[in-house]
Amino acid sequence: EPEVTQTPSHQVTQMGQEVILRCVPISNHLYFYWYRQILGQKVEFLVSFYNNEISEKSEIFDDQFSVERPDGSNFTLKIRSTKLEDSAMYFCASSEIPGQISGGYTFGSGTRLTVV
């Protein structure tokens, strides 16, 4: 069964450093998303991406964050200058049509980001 692949599975970074989280969505999917879950809290929407541009973003997704689809397969989330509160599990998801009306999203297994 097709999978969404995320790398690395765990990243530790110094506060103030830039990190790039990588995702390979399912190949025929057109809609891409990033979610995150801070330990002990709810899964939160960050951003959705379609047709090479951001379609919606949450208030969490400020100027520190950016997303890119640099080639036909990768979808990346960049955090420019990490803060301690960015420590969380980051999930990438994709869907063939908008996930809210299809069978839902296919999630990757997540990248655990630890900012020290």
Partner 1 sequence: ILNVEQSPQSLHVQEGDSTNFTCSFPSSNFYALHWYRWETAKSPEALFVMTLNGDEKKKGRISATLNTKEGYSYLYIKGSQPEDSATYLCAFNTGGFKTIFGAGTRLFVKA
Residues forming contacts to partner 1 in the complex (CB under 8 A) are: 4, 31, 33, 35, 41-45, 48, 50, 55-56, 58, 91, 98-110
Query: By C-beta, is 7 or 81 nearer to partner 1?
Result: 7
Query: By C-beta, is 15 or 43 nearer to partner 1?
Result: 43
11's tokens = 């990243």
| Least spacing, CB of residue 72 vs partner 1, in Å | 21
Find how far residue 33's CA is from the centre of its chain.
6
Q: Report how far residue 3's alpha carbon sits from residue 38's, in angstroms, rounded to the nearest whole number.
A: 23
49's tokens = 């991406």
| Least spacing, CB of residue 107 vs partner 1, in Å | 4
| Least spacing, CB of residue 54 vs partner 1, in Å | 9
What value, to the nearest 5°, has the Cα angle with vertex 45 and ends 103 and 41? 110
